[in-house]
Amino acid sequence: MATANTNQDKKRKFEEQFLPLMDNLYNIAMRMTRNSADAEDLVQETYLKAFRFFDHFQEGTNARAWIITILTNTFRTKYRKYQKEPIQVDFDSIENFFLVDEIKPQIQPANKSEAKGSEEITEILKAYVSDDIIKALENVPEQFRLAVLLSDVERFNYQEIAEIIGVSVGTVKSRIFRGRKILQKQLLDLAKAKGIVGVKK
HEC profile of the chain = CHHHHHHHHHHHHHHHHHHHHHHHHHHHHHHHHCCHHHHHHHHHHHHHHHHHCHHHCCCCCCHHHHHHHHHHHHHHHHHHHHCCCCCCCCHHHHCCCCHHHHHHHHCCHHHHCCCCCHHHHHHHHHHHHHHHHHHHHHCCCHHHHHHHHHHHHCCCCHHHHHHHHCCCHHHHHHHHHHHHHHHHHHHHHHHHHCCCCCCCC
Taking Cα atoms as reference points, which of 133, 140, 147 lies closest to residue 190?
133
pLDDT of 181 reads 85
User: Could you tell me the domains of the chain?
Assistant: 2-82 (1.10.1740.10), 91-193 (1.10.10.10)
Identify the sign of the CA torsion 105, 108, 113, 118.
negative
pLDDT at position 31, please?
A: 85
As averages over each run of 10 residues, the pLDDT of the chain (201 residues) reads 72 93 93 88 95 90 94 84 50 46 48 46 51 74 87 89 93 91 80 65 48
Give the span between the Cα atoms of 185 and 189, in whole angstroms: 6
Rg for the chain, CA atoms, rounded: 20
Q: What's the pTM?
A: 0.68
Average pLDDT over the chain, rounded to an integer: 76
